[in-house]
Amino acid sequence: MKKNLLIVSIFAGLAILSCTKHEVIPAPTPLVELEAHFSGLVNGSDVEYTEDVEGYNGTSSFDQYITTTGLDTTVYYSSMESDLATPIIKIGIGGISFDAASLSVPSLNQFTDFFNGLVDDGTGNPPIINYSLSGKQGFMVSFKDNNGNIYTSSMFHDGQLFENVSPLELPTFSNMSLESDNSGDYAKFTVKFGCELYRFVRYYTIPPSNTQYREYDTITIENGVYSGWIKR
């Protein structure tokens, strides 16, 4: 009887050992590394914003211009903003034509073709990209200063168009990389540029005629280098 009990105990122990579960560690999910950086001379002063320094981080957004003719357009933006500081640097590029009736955003192929088309194709002749109002047909940059004033590279105000007809430096894109992960599709890039930026300040009158005048302000960005990303 004792022998039987011993045999039963041994088999019970083996059964417990055989049921031990091993932890299954899933393979790591690949993530696109998203970082941003800006440096340049803003009105003659050195300005630099770095990812995770003084609260600065890159972000992405887009505007869509929907028409009744089906010629819809998306303009994409990338910016560096901080919860700890007021200044913001923002660039925009557009536009990608798409059909908003069937797509909420441009397709991946449209997105890829557009951004790959912004860089030199190996011939040594980068595409000519002009400054454009709101970036609808080219490039735009805006800058928010320490006082909260926002300047843009093209502005239309009271029938007057302010734009960079002879810019300091046309925008030139490089280091273009199209990558995807579970969160979406991204274009990563570096763009160099130099231009004037404008803002409307106020209306004022001069006695005795009391004719109304407009006051505008202008700043410059020289040797601007922005590295960032845009999400489709």
Residue 20's pLDDT band, with cuts at 50, 70 and 90, is low
- State what percent of residues in the chain have pLDDT above 70: 89
The beta strands (E) that lie in the chain are given as 37-42, 45-50, 56-65, 72-82, 88-98, 139-144, 150-152, 155-157, 160-162, 169-181, 184-206, 211-231
Q: Is residue 17 in a domain?
A: no
Statement: residue 66 has pLDDT above 70:
yes
Contacts of 99 (CB under 8 A, 6+ apart): 70, 72
Predicted pLDDT at 124: 85
Predicted pLDDT at 215: 95
Which of 19-28, 60-69, 222-231 is most confident? Answer: 222-231
Q: Which of 26, 21, 17, 47 is nearest to 145 (CA)?
A: 47
Q: Is residue 226 in a domain?
A: yes
What's the Cα-to-Cα distance from 167 to each of 10, 93, 164, 222, rounded to whole Å?
Answer: 87, 16, 5, 10
Which of 19-28, 41-50, 57-66, 198-207 shows the lowest per-residue confidence on average (mean pLDDT)?
19-28
Full-model pTM = 0.85
Q: Is residue 109 in a domain?
A: yes
Domains in the chain, number: 1
pLDDT in tens, 139-170: 999 999 999 999 999 999 999 999 998 999 99
Q: Is residue 7 in a domain?
A: no
Q: Is residue 225 in a domain?
A: yes
Q: Is residue 177 in a domain?
A: yes
Q: Is residue 159 in a domain?
A: yes
Residue predicted with more confidence, 19 or 211: 211
What's the Cα-to-Cα distance from 74 to each of 21, 65, 89, rounded to whole Å?
Answer: 52, 6, 20
User: Residue 87: which region, alpha, beta or left (left: phi > 0; alpha: psi -120 to 50)?
Assistant: beta
Domain that holds residue 111: 38-231
Q: Is residue 156 in a domain?
A: yes
Residue predicted with more confidence, 16 or 195: 195
CA–CA dist 58, 79 (Å, integer):
6
